[in-house]
Structure 1
Amino acid sequence: MVVAMAAMVLLPIEASDAGWLSDVIKGSPKQGRSAKQARPPKHVTSPKPAALARRAAAPKRHAVKLAALGPLHLSPAALKPVATRCDPAKLRILLDVGHTAESEGAISARNVSEFVFNLRLAKQIEEKLKAEGFVETRLLLTEGKAKRSLFKRVATANDLRADLFLSIHHDSVPNKFLEDWEFGGKKSRFSDRFSGYSVFVSRNNPDFKTSLSFAELIGKEMKAQGLDYAKQYSEPIMGRHQRPLLNAETGVYRYDELIVLRKTRMAAALLEAGSIINRDEELKMSSPERRDIISSSVVAAVKEFCEPRWGILGPL
């Protein structure tokens, strides 16, 4: 009997019987039955010839041979979570500075162009990423009018075969929300009604799933720093500027028509770092402290994107 049991241990176990292995390891509830219950019936009929023929004709299933029923030893690789990883030194990150010197984007409540805010923040993000080992990070600066510059950005990103594309912007509001005021002896416009950051992705991006994951990491890190996202984009009052909210926790919206998001051939996201048309938030966005918070959030998001374990354990 001992010999027979040993022979059974060494027999192949088919994939369809894999569930039995868990019963062996955990301890099957059926083990409590009496020997009488476990004894096979006295009269066992042999399989019919037709059944044997069908079994022989069926394709063989993959078999896993077990040498013994001792503890299972899994390799370290099998214990690691399945996740995309990358080499920071080789990850090509493109930081797109929104707008151009000729087409400056929004004008802040204190008459400063959005392009100035974008360039200042993008440079700080670049410096921090390179300091963390992401040495292939590049700033993308283009010239010319708005629409033409957009296609230049896309062409450059695709030619460089970037792995990640992040467009840096600062927010405003539709004209119907603007109010007049005077600053520094000049007429200006403001809206203190809305504030906060937002992150956008396009469903038309060829790697939408990765784009969304990256955008959510950025939003998560911004939120972890105590920042709130701009909730107005999900409201009907925004009219044609209303966008579907994909994540109510992280402030990620869908904006399918954005050229820099749908035409790039890599994962892409657009960050509106904050509202510069809001007078209080503009002052914060101008401060080194707020730029440090935002740039650190982006760096943390890139680290977690590249090495998911970092987001749980912190830097190793």
Structure 2
Amino acid sequence: MVAGFRPRRFVIVAIAAFVLLPIEVSDARWLPDFFKFPSKHTAAPKHAKSARPARLARHRAAAKPHRTRLAALGPAILPRSALKPASTPCDPATFRLVLDVGHTAESEGAMSARNVAEFVFNLRLARLIEEKLKTEGFTETRLLVTEGKARPSLFKRVAAANGLDADLLLSIHHDSVPNKLLEDWEFEGKKSHYSDRFSGYSVFVSHDNPDFKTSLSFAELIGKELKADGLHYAEQYTQPIMGRDQHPLLDKETGVYSYDELIVLRKARMPAVLLEAGSIINRDEELEMDSPERQNMIGSAVVAAVKEFCEPRQAILGPL
């Protein structure tokens, strides 16, 4: 040890001098390495990409940076973005949600217990949600109705959604069960099939979506709103009896499942969620899904989820 050198006093003086320096976060790369703490999250994985649409990126780039001073650090200046959560609020007037009507007039999806095509249910509910969203100020909402046979229409709808420069995609469907679980009956003199064993809504997301985290957040909001209205989610997807239609349950409180292979979810360039609004192969629930009361309940739940998804988040340190 060098004679006359007092390490404790030196450290205190050095720290005090450092705190009093007017450092700006964006220009702090000059700091010596011993002031930086290593983190396993420092380097982003090679496959990680920004999932925000270009339009939102342009909005953020155009916004003027706001800075605030932290009393604890003296004159240090930090950008406002450093004090906020990762998620950012959206402007309802410019936020673009695409409502994808599941299936097509040529490929109508499942058939209900009373011989009504799923596409009819999907289109009616999607139109109702579109109307409600636009009434609430989400005027950029787009209704996507696709034509064509089943598989080709999947790629057409994804291409159309991506071309709309959307911020969020919600695909509207109504549920059924695998053919092996169907039972026979007659309705109005016509042969039909039903299964009263299962009922309820379900919400699906894909891990392969470029913004899985945001997709999951929105899916959970939808499930939360539906649950708050007294509805329950379909639990059969966790059961082995579903065979290849069995899917992992990601949120047991709100009924969110993963369905990674769904083209409409994994190929969309924006956060994407698929909603099975209810079972139309269940005879009792089909009648409920056909009622204006249930349709309005589901439509209002989706709108409430969108509004909560877009509401301004408070800064970590409160209003600045």
- TM-score when scaled to structure 2? 0.74
1:293 has 2:284 as partner: no
Q: CA deviation at 1:12?
A: 4.0
Give 2:220's aligned residue. Answer: 216
Q: Which has the larger radius of gyration?
A: 1
- Write out per-residue CA displacement over residues 70-92 of structure 1, whole angstroms, 9 at most, x where no aligned residue: 9xxx9999987664211111111
Structure 2 residue 131 is the aligned partner of structure 1 residue 127: yes
SS of 2:307's partner is: helix
Aligned to 1:138: 142
1:265 counterpart (257, 262, 269): 269
Look up the equivalent residue of 1:156 and give its one-letter code.
A
User: What secondary structure is seen at the aligned counterpart in 1 of 2:109?
Assistant: coil
Map of 1:53 onto structure 2:
none
> Which stretches in structure 1 are left out of the alignment for 5+ residues?
1-7, 16-56, 311-316
Does structure 2 conserve the Cα–Cα contact (< 8 Å) formed by 1:14 and 1:61?
no
Query: Is the counterpart of residue 247 in structure 1 residue 251 in structure 2?
Result: yes
- Please tell me whether residue 168 in structure 1 is matched to residue 191 in structure 2: no
Instruction: Output the amino acid matched with 2:116.
Output: V
Letter in 2 for 1:274: G
Residue pair 2:184, 2:194 contacting (<8 A) in 1 also: yes
Q: Residues 97-150 of structure 1: CA distance to partner in whole angstroms, max 9, x if unpaired?
A: 000111000000000000000000000000000000100001000111011111
Shift of 1:280: 0.2
Query: How far apart in 2 are the matches of 1:88 and 1:179?
Result: 46
Q: How large is the Cα RMSD of the aligned pairs?
A: 2.9
CA distance in 2, matches of 1:161, 1:201: 20
Partner residue of 2:200?
196
In 2, distance between residues paired with 1:229 and 1:291? 16
1:107-126 pair list within 5 angstroms: 107-126=111-130
Q: Within the alignment, does 1:97 sit opposite 2:101 as a pair?
A: yes
Question: Are residue 238 (structure 1) and residue 242 (structure 2) matched?
Answer: yes
Q: Report how many aligned residue pairs link the two structures.
A: 256
SS at match of 1:90: coil
Aligned partners of 1:169, 1:158: CA distance in 2, in Å?
20
CA distance in 2, matches of 1:139, 1:164: 12
Match of 1:179 in 2: 183
Shift of 1:14: 3.6
Identity among equivalent positions (%) equals 75
Instruction: Give the Å deviation of 1:160.
Output: 1.0
| C-alpha distance in 1 between matches for 2:73 and 2:95 | 44
Q: CA deviation at 1:185?
A: 0.9
Q: Quick one: structure 1 residues 305 and 188, their matched pair in 2 at CA, closer, same or farther if it must change by over 3 Å?
A: same
Relative distance call for 1:203 and 1:60 in structure 2 (3 A) is closer
For 2:72 and 2:248, how far apart are their aligned partners in 1? 56
Say yes or no: does 1:147 pair with 2:179: no
Query: Which amino acid in 1 is paired with 2:265?
Result: L
With over 3 angstroms needed to count, the CA separation of the structure-2 counterparts of 1:308 and 1:198, relative to structure 1, is farther
Q: Distance in 2 between matches of 1:177 and 1:163?
A: 38
**Contact 2:88–2:313, Cα closer than 8 Å, also in 1:** no
- On the 8 A contact 1:218/1:297 being kept in 2, the answer is yes
SS of structure 1 residue aligned to 2:128: helix
How much has 1:174 moved relative to structure 2?
0.4
SS of 1:216's partner is: helix
Q: Give the direction of change, closer, same or farther, for the CA distance of 1:216–1:69 in structure 2 (3 Å limit).
A: closer
CA contact (8 A) 1:13 1:66 kept: no
- CA separation of 1:79 and 1:259: change in aligned 2, threshold 3 A: closer
1:48 aligned residue = none
For the 8 Å contact 1:91–1:136, the answer to whether it is kept is yes
Letter in 2 for 1:242: Q
Question: What is the CA deviation profile of residues 222-250 of structure 1, one whole-angstrom value per residue up to 9, with x for unaligned ones?
Answer: 10110000000011111110000000000
CA gap of 1:68–1:235, structure 2 versus 1, over 3 A, is closer
- CA distance 1:298–1:110, change in 2 (3 Å): same
Match of 1:88 in 2: 92
Matches within 5 A, 1:3-152: 12=17, 14=19, 83-152=87-156
